[in-house]
Amino acid sequence: MALQAAVKGKLISVIGDEDTCVGFLLGGIGEINKNRHPNFMVVDKNTPVSEIEDCFKRFTKRDDIDIVLINQNIAELIRHVIDAHMAPVPAVLEIPSKDHPYDASKDSILRRAKGMFNPDDLSMFGAENYTT
Amino acid sequence: MTVEDTNICDLETANDLLDRLTLRQLHLMEEKMCRELNIESTINNGCFHLAKSRYIMGQTSVSKERLPTESSIEFSASTMCETVEEAGETKLKIVENDKDTVNPMHWFGILVPQNLHKARNIFQNALNFVVECANIQIQLLENFKNINVLRKYKHHLKSVE
């Protein structure tokens, strides 16, 4: 029993529109566990933002999920929750959908990485050495 | 060598290391964007074949109505990922599971068009890009943490001077 548990990997979950969820579930990542909890959520125009937030928080709290895929346009709706997720695992990956191409300027991880570049640090000798 | 000389050496080493980590950060950011664009083109291709399948089989035949719900019987994922340690780095890798799994094609009918098979292959390929992107993201966050620690050390050295 312990050996079987050690061999089994962790899940890739998805929060996305219909095509994204159908596609990745066709790829084989879908699961309904013994508690009847799925690892995917289909979001449409009628899905309340609170439901998306709750689902995201549930997926990131589960210890059997290593990657959370979320369409970038859906991630925009819960940006504050995604920005608060600091742990490297589960990895939260913002993916494009067929209607919304990828926008690097909106990606939480890239914005955080870009934010560390202070223009003063990057000037050749430091801003304090320039006098006007 | 005096304490001041040691501090200057340490500061130069810290600056050198900071430069390398910053350059690595820029490379990793570029790699992540490239992987995301790969995912985008793969998803678009996959969605095209899903749309073709929908055209052949009917609008509701390839839709969320066919997906399992909380009232469905339990089953395990056939494609999962596991954490491995390679060259001191934590990486994710795709693993296949064949215990208690279902064939997702069966949700959409017995005789399904070739486009649905094609879409499945495309999305399985997309999962490889997803895991690659996740690995780069993990390295990005680790690098970011190292840069912050080094910056604090550099400020400490400067304040000691």
Q: Which two tokens stand for residue B21?
A: 């980590």
Q: Does A31 lie at the interface with B, CB-CB under 8 angstroms?
A: yes
Contact B10, B155 (CB under 8 A): no
Nearest to B130 among A34, A93, A104 (CB): A93
Q: Does A33 lie at the interface with B, CB-CB under 8 angstroms?
A: yes
ipTM: 0.88
Contact A95 B36 (CB under 8 A): yes
Number of domains in chain B: 1
Reported confidence tier of residue A1, pLDDT bands at 50, 70, 90: very low
As beta bridge partners, residue A67 has: A12, A91
Q: Identify the domain containing residue B53 by its residue range.
A: 3-60+77-160
Q: Is residue B14 included in any domain, yes or no?
A: yes
- Report the relative pairing of strands A40-42 and A65-71 from DSSP bridges: unpaired
Q: Number of Cβ pairs closer than 8 Å across A and B?
A: 169
Best residue in A3, A32, A73 to probe B by mutation, most B CBs within 10 Å? A32
Q: Residue A73 above 90 pLDDT? A: yes
Per-residue pLDDT of chain B (161 residues; tens, 9 = 90+): 565 666 666 888 888 999 999 999 999 999 999 999 999 999 999 999 999 999 999 888 888 989 999 888 899 999 999 999 888 888 999 999 988 899 999 999 888 999 999 999 999 999 999 999 999 999 999 999 999 999 898 888 888 76
Instruction: Give the pTM.
Output: 0.87
Segment (H or E) for A16 = strand A11-16
Q: Is residue B72 included in any domain, yes or no?
A: no
Segment (H or E) for B43 = helix B3-57
Q: Is residue B16 included in any domain, yes or no?
A: yes
Q: Is residue B26 included in any domain, yes or no?
A: yes
Q: Is residue B137 included in any domain, yes or no?
A: yes
Please list every residue in chain A whose beta carbon sits closer than 8 Å to the beta carbon of residue B131.
67
**C-alpha dist (Å) from residue B79 to A9, A94, B25, B67, B152:** 9, 20, 30, 17, 42
Q: Does A32 lie at the interface with B, CB-CB under 8 angstroms?
A: yes
Q: Return d(Cα A44, Cα A54) in angstroms, integer.
A: 15
Q: Is residue B71 included in any domain, yes or no?
A: no
Contact A88 B82 (CB under 8 A): no
Q: Which two tokens stand for residue B29?
A: 């950011």
Contact B97 A104 (CB under 8 A): no
As beta bridge partners, residue B101 has: B76
Q: Is residue B151 included in any domain, yes or no?
A: yes
**Which CATH number is B108's domain given?**
1.10.287
Q: Is B97 exposed, middle or buried (0-12, 13-18, 19+ CB in 10 A)?
A: middle
Q: Is residue B123 included in any domain, yes or no?
A: yes
